[in-house]
Amino acid sequence: MLPIKFDYAAPENLAAAAKLLHENQQARILAGGHSLLTAIKSGLISPSLLIDLKKIPNLQDIKLPQETGGILQIGGMTTYDQVATSSEVQKNYQALAEAANSIGDPQIRNWGRMGDIFAYRDLACDLLAVALVLEATFHLTSANNSRVITADDFISLGIQTQWQIPEILTSIDFPAPISRSGSAYEFLKHPASGYVICGIAVLVELSANDVVDKCSVAVTGATSYPLRLSQLAHRMQGKAPTPKNIATAANLARESITTAQVSNQELTIVADRYASSEYRHHMIGVLTQRALTRALKQTQIP
C-alpha cells in the first residue's frame, strides 16, 4: 500500500516534463518505479507528483555509432535488458554489457531504466564504474537549460546535491572504442540482495608496439563513492601487458584506494555484516587482476 497521495502526469514531450519538474519542487521523475515506489512505501520520500517519462519519444532508444557519427547513445528510459542484450554493446562495450547484465534479476533488468542511475544515493551502482572508465557523458535537461557533463562531474554533482538533481537525464553517451582496446566488468554480489559488494570496471588500450597506452580502472560498491584509480592508470602506461605487470597493477589498485579522494571527500571502504572492509579491500585487487586479464585478451588482433 502507498501511504501518501500524489498526482500523476505522463507528458508527451521533454519540454512539458521539464516544465512540470521545474514548477513542482516535490515532484519526482518516474522511470520503471522499482526504487521510487519502494522509497515511497517505506516513507523515505513523499513526492507530490510523479512525472512518468514513458510517453516521451526517443528516450527508450539505443542509437548506434553508425547513426550518430561514432557515439553510442543510450536514452534515459532504455531498460538494462536492452543494453545487456544489444549486439553492438556486447561486441564493442563489453564492460557495459556485463554490468547491465549483472543488475538484479531478469524482472529488474526488464523494467529498470538507465536514467535510474540518479537513484543511487548509496552509490552501490554497477553502471557508474563503467561510465567512468568508458568516459561516458550524461545529457541533462531542465526547464531552463540543457547540458552535458562527464561521468566524473556527474558523480561529484551527485555527492554535492545528495542526488537531488532537478534535471532529467535524457541520454548517456559512450565514445567509440579504438581498435586495440578492451573492457571488462568483474564483480562480487551479495547473494541475497544482488547488490554489488565490490565491482571493478576496466578499459585498456594497447599501442602499435604492444605496450599499454591507456589503462583506466574504476571501483564501485566497495567504496563510499565510485571512483577512478588514477594512480594506477599512470603507473601502467608504457608497460607490457604481462601477467607480472597485471599482478603489479592489482596490488597498486589496493594501495591507491587508501589515499583516494572524490570531490574533496574522504573515501572509506565499506563494511557491513556481510563483508568487512578488509575483505572488500582484498577483493579490489582480485577483481582488478581478473578484469585486466579479460580486457587485455580483447586487444589481441585475431
Ligand X SMILES: Cc1cc2nc3c(=O)[nH]c(=O)nc-3n(C[C@H](O)[C@H](O)[C@H](O)COP(=O)(O)OP(=O)(O)OC[C@H]3O[C@@H](n4cnc5c(N)ncnc54)[C@H](O)[C@@H]3O)c2cc1C
In whole angstroms, how close is the CB of 114 to ligand X at the nearest point? 8
In whole angstroms, how close is the CB of 216 to ligand X at the nearest point? 20
In whole angstroms, how close is the CB of 76 to ligand X at the nearest point? 3
In whole angstroms, how close is the CB of 112 to ligand X at the nearest point? 2
The neighbouring-strand residues paired with 175 are 71
In the bound state with ligand X, the residue whose beta carbon lies nearer, of 125 and 295, is 125
DSSP 8-state secondary structure symbol assigned to residue 119: G
264: phi > 0 → left, psi -120 to 50 → alpha, else beta; which? Answer: left
In the bound state with ligand X, the residue whose beta carbon lies nearer, of 53 and 218, is 53
Residue with cell 586495440: 180
- Non-local CB neighbours of 97 within 8 Å, separated by 6+ positions: 83, 84, 86, 89, 90
C-alpha torsion 264→148→226→31, nearest 10: 130
In the bound state with ligand X, the residue whose beta carbon lies nearer, of 185 and 296, is 185
In the bound state with ligand X, the residue whose beta carbon lies nearer, of 111 and 279, is 111
Element at 17 (helix H, strand E): helix 14-23
Name the residues that contact ligand X, by CB under 6 A. 28-36, 53, 76, 103-104, 108, 112-113, 115-116, 118-119, 125-126, 168-169, 194-196
The set of cell numbers assigned to 56 is 516521451
In whole angstroms, how close is the CB of 245 to ligand X at the nearest point? 31
**Cα angle at 294 between 291 and 296, to 5 degrees?**
105
In the bound state with ligand X, the residue whose beta carbon lies nearer, of 116 and 205, is 116
The CA distance from 198 to 229, in Å, is: 14
In whole angstroms, how close is the CB of 129 to ligand X at the nearest point? 10
In the bound state with ligand X, the residue whose beta carbon lies nearer, of 194 and 238, is 194
Sign of torsion, CA 289 292 295 296?
negative
For residues 270 and 260, the answer to whether their CB atoms sit within 8 Å is: no
